[in-house]
Amino acid sequence: MPKARGLARHMASVRRSSARRDKQPCSKQSSAGTTHNWGKMKSIADIGPSTLVCAVIGNPVAHSMSPAIHNRAFAELGLDYVYVAFRVRDVGAAMAGMRALGNFRGMSVTIPHKVAILDHLDEVAEVDRQIGSVNTVVNDGGRLKGFGSDGPGALQALSDAGVRVAGKNVTIIGSGGAARAIAFSLATTTRPASLCLLGVIEPELRALTRDVARKTDLKATCAMLEAKALPAVSIKVRLSFVGVQVHHSEATKLESPAGGGSPTSMVANLLL
């Protein structure tokens, strides 16, 4: 999962940089004023005043595998962290709560908050500000910093599957934060021949198409999601809940409408 890799990788880098400063078991003063001991967390019985909290926020989140993935990663890395899931309707209030809770270290962000959350952050990486969405927030002493890993994660999954995007016609089904990140990553990194965006929320869909066309030189079009709207494409990226699955034409064939062109040769399901 792109967002899972983003937060876990960031926390691992924090631990490695801290360990380099002191070869002995190291400690860190949290913003709550407690001393944090690395290498402590082994089971739920180890949760204490110094334990740092991470979470995934979204609506809904009941389907999320992030707590299982992150808590296992934290245990393997010996980090005194715990990871939970919060259903959030008011993202601004959630960010205020994150600032107020000194032990709240990091957050994964899923739908529908990946775009709206930018208005409540203190710092956003320039590339993610350009894209217009983030999926990871780090609380650095009360200063909230946003990052995105949806785009790089999707590109890595396509690369790992041996998919060459350059010169291909690509369709993305979805227009939210993950679709936004992936569309910009494809447009600026892999250079497809064209990009077609299909979605069910028309204002969001048109805004994303306009932004891609304006901020990159890629030919981008959009249409509301229905069977007759599916163009003749080489690669289709479909965004839905719950990792990344890549299917080649031998496993999945989607015929183009009215015999218009060749069938889809590859489908990538991004399960959020």
Q: In CATH, what number is assigned to the domain containing residue 61?
A: 3.40.50.10860
What is the pLDDT at residue 77? 92
Cite the beta strand spans of the chain per DSSP E.
27-29, 35-37, 52-58, 81-87, 104-109, 123-124, 136-140, 143-147, 169-173, 194-199, 220-224, 235-240, 244-248, 266-271
Out of 3, 23, 42, 114, pick the active-site residue: 114
Please identify, among 132, 148, 164, the residue that sits at the C-terminal boundary of a domain: 148
CATH of the domain at 244: 3.40.50.720
CA 94 – CA 119 distance, rounded (Å): 12
Lowest mean pLDDT among 2-6, 87-91, 178-182: 2-6
What is the pLDDT at residue 256? 37
What is the pLDDT at residue 85? 97
CA 130 – CA 8 distance, rounded (Å): 24
The residues, ordered by sequence, that sit 6+ positions from 250 with a Cβ below 8 Å of its Cβ are none
Token reading at 72? 């296992």
Domain shared by 158 and 263, yes or no: yes
The segment with the largest mean pLDDT, out of 199-208, 219-228, 235-244, 255-264, is 199-208
Domain shared by 41 and 140, yes or no: yes
Domain shared by 73 and 179, yes or no: no
Domain shared by 155 and 139, yes or no: no
Domain shared by 139 and 157, yes or no: no
Domain shared by 134 and 174, yes or no: no
Nearest Cα to Cα of residue 5 among 135, 130, 145, 200: 135
Kindly report, residue by residue over 12-59, the tens digit of the pLDDT.
Answer: 554 444 444 333 333 344 444 444 444 555 677 788 999 999 999 999
- Tell me if residue 145 is catalytic: no
What is the count of structural domains for the chain? 2
Q: Tell me the percentage of the chain whose pLDDT exceeds 90.
A: 47
Please identify, among 148, 182, 215, the residue that sits at the C-terminal boundary of a domain: 148
Q: How many distinct helices (H) and strands (E) make up the chain?
A: 7, 14
Q: Where are the alpha helices (DSSP H) in 150-220?
A: 150-160, 177-185, 202-215
Domain shared by 137 and 158, yes or no: no
Domain shared by 196 and 264, yes or no: yes
Domain shared by 96 and 142, yes or no: yes
CA angle centred on 181, ends 69 and 128, rounded to 5°: 95
What is the pLDDT at residue 252? 37
Domain shared by 22 and 94, yes or no: yes
Kindly report, residue by residue over 118-157, the tens digit of the pLDDT.
Answer: 999 999 988 899 899 999 999 999 999 999 988 888 888 8
What is the pLDDT at residue 247? 47
Domain shared by 137 and 155, yes or no: no
Q: How much is the pTM? A: 0.65
What is the pLDDT at residue 250? 36
CA 66 – CA 63 distance, rounded (Å): 9
Specify the DSSP class assigned to residue 26: P
Residue 116 confidence class, pLDDT cut points 50, 70, 90: very high
- Specify which residues 237 forms β-bridges with: 172, 268
Kindly report, residue by residue over 161-205, the tens digit of the pLDDT.
Answer: 888 889 999 989 888 888 998 999 899 888 899 999 999 899 999
Give the residue-averaged pLDDT of 89-93: 97
Report the SS3 class of residue 238: strand
Please identify, among 94, 126, 148, the residue that sits at the C-terminal boundary of a domain: 148
Residue 73, domain extent: 2-148
What is the pLDDT at residue 20? 41
What would you measure as the largest C-alpha separation in the chain, in angstroms?
Answer: 68
Contact 155, 179 (CB under 8 A): no
